[in-house]
Amino acid sequence: MSYSETFLNKNKISTPKISKGELEKFNSDSLELSKYYLDYQNYSLLHNPFRKFPYFTASNIDGALFKKIKREDLFSGSDRWSKDNRIPYSSQFGKELYSADKSDFDKGHMTKREDVQWGTDIESAKKAAESTFYYTNAIPQLDRLNRGVWRKIEDYILHHEVVKSNLKISLFTGPALRNDDPEFVTIINNELVKLPYLFWKVVYYLKEDDLFRTGFITSQKKLLEKRRITKPLSRGPSTTREYFTKFKDAETYQVKVSFIEKLCELQFAEATETFQDDTPEKLILSGIEVRADKVLNGTINLKL
């Protein structure tokens, strides 16, 4: 079963809508958007053939049916990353990116392996976990981010909230694919590659049968620059990018979903939010560290 809009007691949670500008790119290249919406086991994603990364992934998580499976027990003990043959290989990055010179980054799962590791039996859960090892579900992420606080919040949501309480949630994850993303220092197949530095999550859940949502964001901008993985960005007039210098890299921040919508030019399904900060965008970006709820020493305080 792929992503279901009615997973949460028939509350319809549609996948995010991309902007008119992105739709026009598909039309101008005579590409069918529907062909790049890919279904996997317990999740789906919309792939961006122009950036060769996903716009977003959409997963359903059932804590009551979660199965414990070690990563080494998948694929007979090896990670078998592969391109998805349902779309042109040329529209996806694969080994050529992750093994290139200066590729000091992980294949960062957008849909987390364990998030979809559920089902009525162990085999279906294993199949779902293995279906996350497609390059269409990966973005270059530095180890400090991928294995650090971002992972802590993923683990907290899954194990301390969903599995522990037998909850069901719908979860969207993705990169902010922006024009100001920095360029990878290595040319891949004669192509300049822009590496996303901002990542987000939007969680939908039920509380007393009412539908709620909340958002999270993280950054790896300075880490990319420090390790000389990306080219230095020129200092010009103040832009949205400049505000993000206030983010502490590899930390995770709770934000309003509308903030993510503006940042990524996406539109999410409506729901109630308990995190209510209406500070203008510029102040959110420059003052977020003192207001945000974040993971500290393995504990977290979320406004859910």
pLDDT-based confidence at 77, cuts 50/70/90?
Answer: low
Strand positions, DSSP E, 5-105: 17-18, 37-39, 43-48, 53-62
pLDDT-based confidence at 19, cuts 50/70/90?
Answer: very high
| Closest to 101 in 3D by CA, of 206, 193, 2, 201 | 193
Give residue 228's pLDDT. Answer: 95
**Cβ proximity of 284 and 240 under 8 Å:** no
* Gap between the Cα atoms of 251 and 155, Å rounded: 15
- Of the candidate ranges 45-49, 67-71, 246-250, the one whose mean pLDDT is the lowest: 246-250
Residue 297 scores a pLDDT above 70: no
pLDDT average, residue stretch 161-177: 95
pLDDT-based confidence at 247, cuts 50/70/90?
Answer: low
What is the Rg, in whole angstroms, of the alpha carbon atoms belonging to the chain? 19
Residue 292 scores a pLDDT above 50: no
Residue 16 scores a pLDDT above 90: yes
Where is mean pLDDT largest: 108-117, 270-279, 292-301? 108-117
- Model pTM score: 0.88
pLDDT tens-digit map of 101-130: 999 999 999 999 999 999 999 999 999 999
pLDDT average, residue stretch 64-83: 89
The number of C-alpha atoms within 13 Å of 93 and in the hemisphere containing its C-beta is: 26
* Gap between the Cα atoms of 196 and 175, Å rounded: 6
Which amino acid is located at 217 in the chain? I
- Of the candidate ranges 13-27, 231-245, 273-287, the one whose mean pLDDT is the lowest: 273-287
| Closest to 176 in 3D by CA, of 255, 275, 235, 106 | 255
Give residue 153's pLDDT. Answer: 80
Residue 31 scores a pLDDT above 50: yes
What DSSP assignment string belongs to 137-176? GEEEE-HHHHTTHHHHHHHIIIIIIIITTT-EEEEEEEE-
pLDDT tens-digit map of 189-244: 999 999 999 999 999 999 988 999 998 888 898 899 999 999 987 655 444 444 44
Q: What is the CATH number of domain 17-291?
A: 3.40.570.10
